[in-house]
Amino acid sequence: MARRFNFNSELTMAIILIGMILLFFVIQPSLLSGQNLENVGRQASVLSVLACGQLFAILVGGIDLSLGSIIGLTSVIAAKGVLAWGLGWGLLAGILVGVVLGATNGMLISYYRMPAMIVTLAMLYFARGIALIIAGGMPVERLPSAFGILGKGSMLGIPNPVFIAIAAFVVCGFVLKFTRLGRAFYAIGGVEETSYLAGIRVERVKVAAYALSGASAGLAGIILSSRLSSGQPNLGDGLEFEAIAAVVIGGARLGGGKGGIRGTLLGVLFLAILANGLNLARVSSFTQMIVIGCVLIITMIVDRFRAPASRVA
């Protein structure tokens, strides 16, 4: 699965990452302070979980533009659920929202053969609209304090969201490397026809990929809502694009079939440290956006130079 290749690019990415950390450290030593690292950890956790989901969608040759909106809807439903049914059920409802919407995306894309970009774009509007309606355009507040533990608490000095992010990486990495489903993702993303002729149920696997993607948005939504101790219908706006950036910088190909958890992790760290470092260096967030744009283009260029004939003509 082009693993040898990824190793080289991941090594390069890791080196760039370390270089970046050193550079920012020199500019602003508080980068590596406990307080700052805790902030970075909390911030990056949400992106981590989301990027894992986006990776699945991209691996099967698609994309998920609805993740941000699913976060919003999850936030509202989880909050209302907690108020109505208690903490456990509320959180579960939140994740289920992600799974159901993701599966819906998947079914439209695979069984009805609609382009992923359009389907998830439609879901982007759809989910956001429903979230706003259910919330009545206002945040859902007065939630029990236990609701905030997930996003604001920490164990052994490490923020809870970081544990969740680590768990997400481990589980997703495991699925991709060791399970039948993960193998099917890479196969379908590689050459769909070959996978079809080999008896892989292409449609079902694609639905699974998008369902997992939606679930990741559900989880991300819960973490974010927990940090804010409220259900916010406008939450997550634009996060799907950060997730795409992280996955692509991490070496995944948008046509599918290439990419992995290690790379995605590096991509997330890259974006998180970049944002944090530039913040500490008092660089405006507008300049940060320019930097991210350039990084994406450079990633594509480098990838083009590296890959000899890896795509079937």
Partner 1 sequence: MPLLTAKDISKSFFATCALDNVDFALERGEIHVLLGQNGAGKSTLIKIISGAIRPDAGTITVDGKDAEHLTPIKSKLLGIATIYQEFNLIPDLSVAENVFLGRLPTKERWPHPVDWRKMRKDARAFFEQVGIALDPDAIVRTLSIAEQQLVEIAKALSVDAKVIILDEPTATLTRREISALFTLLKKMKKRGIGIIYISHRLEEIEQIGDRVTVLRDGKLVGTWNAGDVQINELINAMVGRAVDSTGNEDIRHQRKSDDVILEVRNLSDGRRIKDVNLQLRRGEIVGLGGLVGAGRTELARTLFGADKIVAGELRIHGNNVTSHSCRNSIELRIGFLPEDRKSEGLLLNFSVKNNISLPSLKHFNWFGFMRRTAENDAAQDYIGKLQIKTTGPNQEVRLLSGGNQQKVVLAKWLQTNADMLIFDEPTRGIDVAAKEEFYKIILECAVRGAAVLLISSEVTELIRMSDRIVVMREGRIAGELDRSEFDPERLLSLAFGQSSLQ
Between vectors from CA 184 to CA 266 and to CA 195, what angle results, nearest 5°? 130
- Which of 187, 217, 243, 244 contacts partner 1 by CB under 8 A? 187
Q: Judged by CB under 8 A, which stretch of 162-170, 177-185, 239-247, 283-291 contacts partner 1?
A: 177-185
184 scored as a contact of partner 1 (CB under 8 A) = yes
Shortest Cβ 278–partner 1 spacing (Å):
36
129 C-beta neighbours (distance < 10 Å), count? 14
DSSP alpha helices (H): ranges in 28-159? Answer: 34-59, 67-85, 87-110, 116-135, 149-152
180 scored as a contact of partner 1 (CB under 8 A) = yes
186 scored as a contact of partner 1 (CB under 8 A) = yes
Q: Judged by CB under 8 A, which stretch of 25-33, 134-142, 192-200, 221-229 contacts partner 1?
A: 192-200
Shortest Cβ 4–partner 1 spacing (Å):
8
Instruction: Please tell me what DSSP assigns to residue 33.
Output: S
181 scored as a contact of partner 1 (CB under 8 A) = yes
Give the Å distances, CA to CA, from 23 to 37, 88, 212, 267, 294.
16, 44, 37, 18, 18
Cα separation, 153 vs 163, in Å, equals 11
176 scored as a contact of partner 1 (CB under 8 A) = no
Q: Closer CB to partner 1, residue 16 or residue 200?
A: 200
Report the site for partner 1 in 194-223 (rule: CB under 8 A): 194-201
Cβ neighbourhood burial of 176 (10 Å; 0-12, 13-18, 19+): buried
Cα separation, 23 vs 225, in Å, equals 33
Report the site for partner 1 in 248-267 (rule: CB under 8 A): 257-258
111 scored as a contact of partner 1 (CB under 8 A) = no
Q: Which spans of this chain sit near partner 1 (rule: CB under 8 A)?
A: 1-2, 178-181, 183-184, 186-187, 190-191, 193-201, 257-258, 309-310, 312-313
